[in-house]
């Protein structure tokens, strides 16, 4: 059965999966969503026997129906290979009564690798399928992890260029070093003087700038996106929830059809939306626990039904969650309006004009699957320390936000018996300074690489190759601009200024 995609702000727009992946963003700035959520077509007994790659095919073929079996399997096998340092791709680790789904075993040691390893292959296959003649320009804003994972995925991929914008003082030193040392003749990295929301807004404005699109087309280019607003990012993320459940079942941790909780540290809402889609595919998930840091715009939304970005922007130890405009939430809003594109568009217009919108009580009733809470900076550090002292297991600040919120969920609901998967989104080595401080070390006068050495000894875990390669790597990208200069920078890179 062919599955189609429509825009969240204009339901009359209808495209195939490959077209949605190529475009990234709908013509009016909306996001592409499937016209329905397909059901899993294989049994849990079958899934329990499958590798990650086999699971990926069974999930993704339901969403990407205009890709042939050969095309899709080529994309999957090319993505989930030796660039991951564990055969399972996404292993589960049991610690202190929960199961940590480690999504950081790829080449950039963060969960974005799970989708961005495959997106370049999906995109180039989609371009060939749609007879695209233009060179594709991947335009992306990052709060830390997406940028490096996208750069690594698209580096020197024929027929593409990639331009990544990040907030100059809003990422960790290791994250910044990963981006500015990126190799690849087609890669460009730009720091903006501002925050992630300004970078993301600037990228969205360029996507909907008809005059700029015309200039690009004349020069032989067209934009696409590697952010989680691209459906080609979202669909691969569904896979690891299905895989995790199947492995818990295969290992005898849960009975068939037993419900689990999923805890996701959330900024742009894509990762937890993928879990929501997995639940709607038939995966037995009880509660989707949405964990925020001190930029708790999502916590407030789930508590009150009002989404309000008019608040101070906090720089925290979990920078990938330092976000006040959670773009992927729009896909959920569209769904709870009853797929009413006009109503959704009106709310997004209010968000752009006033910085807030409010859902109706009827819409809020449809959010019963979700629980929201947040962790402050002291709570985050305390969670890292407590888990390390109790079990020896070391987690990064984003994962610690999730673990802290899971504890609050149990206290608030009394639900201590449901098996729970906590999504571990980054290696602790990516945030060595914050993690070392949390477990009682001292970073005074030490480089991040020296702190990685100390952390390796404390956690009895080898330093990831992705970090080792950064030692002494030369800086290749040093462009800095104001947010309003972003279009001019893009045109200069593409030679059309």
Clarify whether 112 is annotated catalytic: yes
Cα–Cα distance measured from residue 325 to residue 329, given in angstroms and rounded to the nearest whole number: 9
Strand locations in 322-426 (E): 356-358, 370-374, 420-424
Task: Specify the 3-state DSSP secondary structure of 41.
Answer: coil
Q: What kind and span of H or E run contains 324?
A: none
Q: Are 267 and 323 in contact (CB under 8 A)?
A: yes
Cα–Cα distance measured from residue 483 to residue 305, given in angstroms and rounded to the nearest whole number: 30
**Which residue in 39, 112, 168, 286 is the catalytic one?**
112
Q: Are 140 and 150 in contact (CB under 8 A)?
A: yes
Strand partners, 137: 161, 223
Torsion angle (degrees, nearest 10) of CA 461, 467, 469, 473: -150
- Residue 53, Cβ density class (10 Å: 0-12 exposed, 13-18 middle, ≥19 buried): middle
For the chain, the residue count is 497
Within 10 Å of residue 78's Cβ, how many Cβ atoms? 13
Residues 6+ apart with CB under 8 A from 209: 487
Angle between helices 270-280 and 329-336 (to 10 degrees): 40
Strand partners, 241: none
Angle between helices 119-129 and 69-79 (to 10 degrees): 150
Cα–Cα distance measured from residue 10 to residue 110, given in angstroms and rounded to the nearest whole number: 34
Of the candidates 125, 128, 121, the residue with the CA atom closest to the CA atom of residue 83: 121
Q: Are 175 and 148 in contact (CB under 8 A)?
A: yes
Residues 6+ apart with CB under 8 A from 118: 56, 75, 76, 78, 79, 80, 232, 236
Strand partners, 482: 193
Please list the active-site residues.
Answer: 112
């Amino acid at each position: 059965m062919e599955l189609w995609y429509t825009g969240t702000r204009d339901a009359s727009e209808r495209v195939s999966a490959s077209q949605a992946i190529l475009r990234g963003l709908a013509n009016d700035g909306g996001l592409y969503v499937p016209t329905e959520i397909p059901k899993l077509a294989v049994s849990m007994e079958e899934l329990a026997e499958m590798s990650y790659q086999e699971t990926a095919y069974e999930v993704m073929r339901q969403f990407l129906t205009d890709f042939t079996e050969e095309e899709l399997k080529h994309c999957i096998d090319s993505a989930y290979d030796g660039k991951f340092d564990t055969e399972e791709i996404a292993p589960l680790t049991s610690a202190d009564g929960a199961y940590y789904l480690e999504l950081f075993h790829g080449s950039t040691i963060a969960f974005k690798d799970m989708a961005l390893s495959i997106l370049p292959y999906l995109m180039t296959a989609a371009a060939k399928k749609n007879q695209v003649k233009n060179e594709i320009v991947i335009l992306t804003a990052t709060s830390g992890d997406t940028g490096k994972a996208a750069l690594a995925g698209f580096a020197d991929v024929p027929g593409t260029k990639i331009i990544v914008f990040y907030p100059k003082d809003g990422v960790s030193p290791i994250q910044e070093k990963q981006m500015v040392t990126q190799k690849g003749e087609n890669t460009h990295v730009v720091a903006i003087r501002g925050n992630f929301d300004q970078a993301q807004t600037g990228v969205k404005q360029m996507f909907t700038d008809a005059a700029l699109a015309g200039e690009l087309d004349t020069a032989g280019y067209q934009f696409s996106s590697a952010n989680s607003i691209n459906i080609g990012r979202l669909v691969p993320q569904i896979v690891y929830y299905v895989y995790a459940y199947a492995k818990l079942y295969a290992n005898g941790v849960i009975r068939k059809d037993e419900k689990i909780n999923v805890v996701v540290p959330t900024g742009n809402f894509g990762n937890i939306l993928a879990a929501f889609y997995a639940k709607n595919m038939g995966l037995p998930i009880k509660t989707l626990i949405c964990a925020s840091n001190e930029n708790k715009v999502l916590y407030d939304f789930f508590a009150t039904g009002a989404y309000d970005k008019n608040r101070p922007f906090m720089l925290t130890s979990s920078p990938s969650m330092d976000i006040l405009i959670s773009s992927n939430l729009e896909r959920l809003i569209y769904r709870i309006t009853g797929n009413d594109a006009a109503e959704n568009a009106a709310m997004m217009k209010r968000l752009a004009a006033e910085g807030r919108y409010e859902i109706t009580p009827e819409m809020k009733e449809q959010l019963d699957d979700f629980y929201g809470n947040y962790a402050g900076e002291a709570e985050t550090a305390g969670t890292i320390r407590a888990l390390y002292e109790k079990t020896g297991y070391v987690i990064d600040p984003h994962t610690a936000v999730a673990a802290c919120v899971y504890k609050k969920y149990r206290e608030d609901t009394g639900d201590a018996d449901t098996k729970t998967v906590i999504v571990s989104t980054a290696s602790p080595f990516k945030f060595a300074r914050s993690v070392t401080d949390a477990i009682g070390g001292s970073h005074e006068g030490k480089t991040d690489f020296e702190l990685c050495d100390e952390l390796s000894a404390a956690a009895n875990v080898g330093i990831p190759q992705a970090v080792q390669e950064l030692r002494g790597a030369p800086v290749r990208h040093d462009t800095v601009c104001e947010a309003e200069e972003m279009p001019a920078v893009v045109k200069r890179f593409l030679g059309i200024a």
